[in-house]
Structure 1
Amino acid sequence: MRGGSTLRFYPINLNLKEKKVLIVGAGKVAFRKFKRLLQAKAQIKVVSPEFSPKFTPYFEQKSDQYIFIERKFREDDLGGIFLVFAATNDSQLNERIAFLSRNKNILANISDAVDISDFTVPAAVNRGELLLTVSSGSNLPALSQNIRKKIEQEFGVEYQILLEIMQKKRSLIIAEIDEISVRKKIFKELASDQFLNKIRMIIDQFDLNLLNIEETDEFINNKNNLTENKFKLLSDSIETEINKIIAKLKDD
C-alpha cells in the first residue's frame, strides 16, 4: 500500500430538503432510494417505463414531493437536477447517465458501478435527529447491513426522545447559564450512558413497548397513536430528570 489511507469517498450528510433528485429506474433498488429520499424531504422525479408494485401506494396518493414519469430516460430529465440515482437493470444506460451527469456537473450514484459513481449511500439507522451510517466501500454490502442491524439493537428510541426534548431545551440552557464550563458539564451528563439508562427505565415504566421498536417510522406512528397525553407524560418525566441535572450542576 502506498500513500497511506485508502479512503476514497468523503463522508458527508447532505441537506436535500426541496432539492431536485432524479431516480432513473423503478425496481427494488430504486424504491429503497425513493423511500430514503422521502424522509430527507427531497423533490423526487422517478423515470422508468415500468414500475415495481412497491410504488403502487404512492401512485394512488398525490404528493407535491414526488412525480412519476412512465417512459424511458431522456437527457432533458437532468434539467435542474441536484442529484441522480441511476438504478436501472441496463448497465449501458446507467453508464450513459453517469457520463451525461458529469458533463452537467450533477453528482450521480450508479447502482451497479461504484467505480463511476460520484457518491455512495451507506447503510443507515435513524433515531430522529441521530443518524448513524455504515459503509463497506461497496466491497461487501451484506457486512454493512449486518453492522446496521447491530446498531439498531444498541441504539433505541431513547436517543430520539432525548434529542426531541433537547431541541428546545438546549437553547434555554445556553440562555440561562452564562458559564460555559457549567454548560459543558450539563451537556456531558445528559449525553452519558448513565442518563440514557435512566431514560430507558422511565420508558419501561410507562409500558409503551417502545424499546423494542427498530424502525423510526414505526416509533413515530406508535407515538402518534398513543392514548391522549401518555407520550406527553413520558416526555415530561424525562424533562424532569433533565431539570434535576441542570439544577444540581448549576449549584455545584
Structure 2
Amino acid sequence: MPSMGIISRKSPIAFMVQKMLPIILNVKDKKILIFGGGEVSERRARKFLDAKAKVTIISKDFTPQLKKMNVNIIEKEVKKSEIPKLIKNYDIILACTSHEELNNSIEEEARKQGKLVNRADKISDFIIPASFEVEGVVIAVSTLGKSPALAKLIKRRIAKLITKEDVKMLKLQEYARELLKNKIPEQRKRKEILKSLLSDYDIANKDIEEAKKIIRRKIECFRE
C-alpha cells in the first residue's frame, strides 16, 4: 500500500455534478478522523479545530504545521483491511490521501458504517467551502469543486461588502427577536416586525444602546 501524502494540484480531478444542500453543521466535540498528513489535511483540520471538534489524523507522513496543531496524531501506513476498525469510533471521516484507491476504500467503508465522509479528490457526502465569519455573520462559498481558487476570490469580494452597520443591525435583530418571543406569540407577526426594523431609519442612525430603546418602544406599540 503506498504511503499517504499531499494531493498534487497538477493532477486532473474528475468531480461529480450533483445537487447539494448548503448547510451549517455543529461539530463541537464531534470526533473527526482525517486520513492523510499533507497540506489539504492541514487546512481541513484547522477548520474543524476552529469549530471545536476533536481531530485525529492518521498518516505515515505529516506537514510540520500538523505536528504543531492540537490534534491526535497516529503515525502509520494504513492498510485496506484496517479501515473498518480505524473509523469505527469516529463521527466524520475525511479521505485526504494522494491515492484514489485508498480514498475509495475509506469512502466505501464510511458509507457502510453510516458516517459522513469528505474526500479531497472528488465530491462525496459534503464539501468544506471557502468561508469566513464576521461577528456572527457566516459566509460560505463553493463552486462544487470546479474551482476552489475562484471560491476564495468570491469569498474575499463578499467580505468587503459587510459593513459595521450590518454587524450592528445583526446585534439589534438578535435583541429584538428575544424581546418578541416573550411579547408576540404569532411567529408570522414577529417576522413582519423584524423585517420592518431592518429598514427603520431611526434605528439605523442611532448608536446601539439608543437603538435598543427605540426597538423596545416600537415593540410595545406593536403589542397595542
Q: TM-score range, shorter-chain basis?
A: 0.7 to 0.9
Residue 91 (structure 1) aligned with residue 96 (structure 2): no
Cα deviation, residue 154, structure 1: 0.8
Greater alpha carbon shift after TM alignment, 88-97 vs 177-186: 177-186
Q: Gapped runs of 5+ residues in structure 2? A: 1-16
Tell me which of 196, 205, 212 is aligned to 1:242: 212
Matched position secondary structure for 1:154: coil
Distance 1:43 1:195 in 2: 46
Pair 1:15–1:188, CA change in 2 (3 A): same
More helix by share: 1
Matched position secondary structure for 1:98: helix
Residue 147 (structure 1) aligned with residue 157 (structure 2): no
Q: Gapped runs of 5+ residues in structure 1? A: 1-5, 60-65, 200-236
Q: 1:21·1:44 contact (CA, 8 Å) conserved in 2?
A: yes
How much is the aligned-residue C-alpha RMSD, in angstroms? 3.0
Pair 1:136–1:239, CA change in 2 (3 A): same
In structure 2, the partner of 1:225 is none
Greater alpha carbon shift after TM alignment, 95-104 vs 180-189: 180-189
Distance 1:164 1:71 in 2: 48
Q: 2:172·2:212 contact (CA, 8 Å) conserved in 1?
A: no
Cα deviation, residue 22, structure 1: 0.9
Residue 21 (structure 1) aligned with residue 32 (structure 2): yes
Distance 2:155 2:107 in 1: 28
Q: 1:109·1:119 contact (CA, 8 Å) conserved in 2?
A: yes
Residue 105 (structure 1) aligned with residue 119 (structure 2): no
Q: 1:123·1:133 contact (CA, 8 Å) conserved in 2?
A: yes
| Identity score, percent | 30
Q: 1:158·1:196 contact (CA, 8 Å) conserved in 2?
A: no
Cα offsets for 1:54-96 (capped at 9, x unmatched)? 224325xxxxxx4222223342220122211111222222222
In structure 2, the partner of 1:35 is 46
Q: 1:165·1:239 contact (CA, 8 Å) conserved in 2?
A: no
Cα deviation, residue 45, structure 1: 1.3
Q: Which structure carries more relative contact order (alpha carbon 8 Å, separation 6+)? A: 2
Cα deviation, residue 153, structure 1: 0.8
TM-score when scaled to structure 2? 0.74
Tell me which of 161, 178, 182 is aligned to 1:171: 178
Distance 1:195 1:120 in 2: 42
Distance 1:159 1:84 in 2: 36
Matched position secondary structure for 2:69: helix
